Amino acid sequence: MNPESLLEAENIAKATIKVSPKSLLTVICPPFVYISFISKYIKGSNVALGAQNIFPEKKGAYTGEISAAMLRSLKVSYSIIGHSERRALGETDEIVAKKLLAAFNAKIIPILCVGESTRDDHGEYLQILKSQIISSLFLLPKAAIKDIVIAYEPIWAIGSEAGSAMSGRDLHETSIFIRKVLVDLYGAKAKETRILYGGSVAPENAANLVKEGEVDGLLVGHMSLKANAFSQILKLVSEIR
């Protein structure tokens, strides 16, 4: 539920669009109430518009929910699905799977969030990750795998400080594991699936996370609300890409 005002949301969006490098795909995902206002700034830029959530049903008596068709009519092309904060509110893998299918059917690219709450010495967290991926994707047709985005967000690494983020080396190992799970399930097309990292991303660690972690991009949380910090992240990553 940030930022708190439309004016602030518009200022952040305009600042982001202004500095977004052409070599990167930048997606901004404002709260629902700001999407229609921000879409006018997106037009003609190299920045894409995304949503923070989506409802799995096409239409009906679901007061307060937002359908994929509604989002698509506002030129939304991406949607975060299964974010750890949504899961903390009770969203299950089954619900996430239905949302992914709804997004896919509406030609909205889903950004599927997965991640363990804690890490153990025996590697059980890897099975948690694998289970999340399998359970969240099971409704999608196999051909869709190359068009979705996986955002790995280890819950234990989420915070406001850069030091909370996982190391590039650990991220590399985990991204390899995620890729292997996807390829085992969907075949060679899964090699095209983009994998992002989210969890205390900041200017201090962005370049290392992408370079050493060997991920395709970043899911930026807290720092996306700070225009200067976010522009630094974009610049640093663009120099790698």
The CA distance from 178 to 25, in Å, is 22
Catalytic residue chosen out of the listed positions 83, 91, 173, 192: 83
User: Is 83 a known active-site residue?
Assistant: yes
List the structure tokens of 88. 């903390």
Q: Which residues are CB-neighbours of 240 under 8 A, at least 6 positions away?
A: 207, 210, 211
User: Is 153 a known active-site residue?
Assistant: yes
The CA distance from 141 to 131, in Å, is 18
The CA distance from 176 to 183, in Å, is 10
- Per-residue CA distances from 80 to 8, 31, 187, 228, 238 (Å): 21, 11, 24, 23, 22
- The Cα angle at residue 81 between residues 109 and 91, in degrees rounded to 5: 155
Q: Is the dihedral of CA 7, 9, 11, 17 positive or negative?
A: negative
The CA distance from 13 to 173, in Å, is 34
Catalytic residue chosen out of the listed positions 153, 172, 204, 222: 153
Residues with active-site annotation: 83, 153
